Amino acid sequence: QSAKPWAGRFNAPTDAFVEAFTASVDFDRRLYRYDIQGSIAHATMLARQGILTEAERDAIVDGLEQVRARIEAGEFEWSIPLEDVHMNVESALTQAIGDAGKKLHTGRSRNDQVATDVRLWLREEIDTLAGEIRRLQQALLDLAEREADAVLPGFTHLQVAQPITFGHHMMAWFEMLDRDHDRLLDCRRRLNVMPLGAAALAGTTYPIDRAYTAELLDFDRPAENSLDAVSDRDFAIEFSADAAILMMHLSRFSEELILWSSAQFGFVELSDSFCTGSSIMPQKKNPDVPELVRGKSGRIFGHLIGLLTLMKAQPLAYNKDNQEDKEPLFDIVDNLKGSLKVYADMMGHVTCNHQRMREAARQGFSTATDLADYLVRKGIPFRDAHEIVGKAVALGVREGRDLAELPLESLRQFSEAITDDVYAVLTLDGSVAARDHLGGTAPNQVRAAIARARQRLTD
């Protein structure tokens, strides 16, 4: 059962430790479905080309389906001496159907086989991930809509800058996720090219029909060059880069949620179901979910560097190094899926503390730019207006009052152009409503942006 398919030229058995050291079956068995799918397509093509008989093809297809059923029923015994998922499946097939099973590998190598398996697997995972991104985007749209009018301070340098609306802020995250979604689909387009037919590296002597196999497996086309086909892992690196950018976004987002849910900010409250407590401090409610997502970004960045380093010195064509591409990819997919799922669920249950957000916006002279713009409308050049408002802010800082709390006489000492209509521009709602153009924070612009975004998601 465990006779190695390649044992012919060897005189000594594999060292026991080497056998375990070189085996990948413990992790690559995860690819079994794609391995079988690829084999069925390959056998179907071989029969169509007259390389296998129809009876042999039927036996192979039937046998592979039995193997799949046994794996899924948990009845399959994975063998380390058989090294990887490919040889495990092939050997079980031959056990099940006899000699026809030995013909499956005609015109094929594990090199083009594994490259195909990983692409089939990743293609499907990308579809799932893209769906999860959409679900998170939907949650953000709903939250943005609920909080389209809620005012909070916008920050630059983490210092209060100008008032913005919570809806507008959520829509910023929505846009980033939209690009992440597009990046993944773009990666999918490039990876959807079929390596099969490249065989070990140079192609095969059999009259194969690669276009037909590609069609059976829903690939856009067969890979152009056999050497490239078996040794290219760009798609894995590209996927990891896309994943790293996505995790970077989620990590930044997490940082804000962690800050905002602290007592010092108090802008938002995460639902109890998404927080945990402390074993010693009874009062604690910790934002573990965003913290963990922020933390997970580290390992994803690491995998990107790991894969780049894995590839950087490999001569053409296939090298065993490539076996090391799988664990990082699996880890990325698992953690990305988990992070997106928990985020989509969590964002549906975020509540805003409107009072705290407004207080914070009032405290930081966030309408100073509005006052400068007001002076410009009264004919003062912007640079002079900036200077005037700066002095008014300095007074406010000395007296511990916001601009809107300074009496008219105080404000007028800095410019005669200030009259009692100034207080309208110093309000938070007036300030956000005034940024009333495409991309601005005005509530009606946010609602329009949400409507466009909903449209985009249905297109």
Residues that bind ligand ARG (CB under 6 A): 24, 28, 84, 110-111, 114, 318, 320, 322-323
Two tokens, residue 220: 């856009």
Toward ligand ARG, which CB reaches closer, 24 or 39? 24
Among the options 86, 273, 278, 303, which is catalytic?
278
For this structure, is 168 an active site residue? no
Nearest to 21 by CA among 83, 79, 110: 83
Contact 247, 177 (CB under 8 A): no
What is the smallest separation between the CB atom of 66 and ligand ARG, expressed in angstroms? 23
Question: Is 34 or 173 the residue whose CB approaches ligand ARG more closely?
Answer: 34
Nearer to ligand ARG, 110 or 294 (CB): 110
- The question of whether 366 is a catalytic residue gets the answer no
Instruction: State in angstroms the smallest separation of the CB of 194 from ligand ARG.
Output: 16
Query: Chain centroid to CA 78: how far?
Result: 32
Q: Which is nearer to ligand ARG, 9 or 398 (CB)?
A: 9
Contact 312, 322 (CB under 8 A): no
Catalytic residue selected from 157, 273, 279, 437: 157
Q: How far apart are CA 4 and CA 179, in angstroms?
A: 47
Closest approach, Cβ 129 to ligand ARG, in A, equals 22
Nearer to ligand ARG, 57 or 326 (CB): 326
Question: Please, what is the minimum distance in Å from the beta carbon of residue 28 to ligand ARG?
Answer: 6
Q: Report yes or no: 375 and 417 within 8 Å, Cβ to Cβ.
A: yes
Least distance to ligand ARG from the beta carbon of 25, Å?
A: 8
Would you call 77 exposed, middle or buried from its count of C-beta atoms within 10 A (0-12, 13-18, 19+)? exposed
User: What is the CA angle 454-332-228, rounded to 5?
Assistant: 100
What one-character DSSP code corresponds to residue 75?
A: -
Q: CA angle, 66 as apex, 65 and 69 as ends, to 5°?
A: 85
Rounded Cα–Cα distance for residues 346 and 271 (Å): 7
Give the residue numbers marked as catalytic: 157, 278
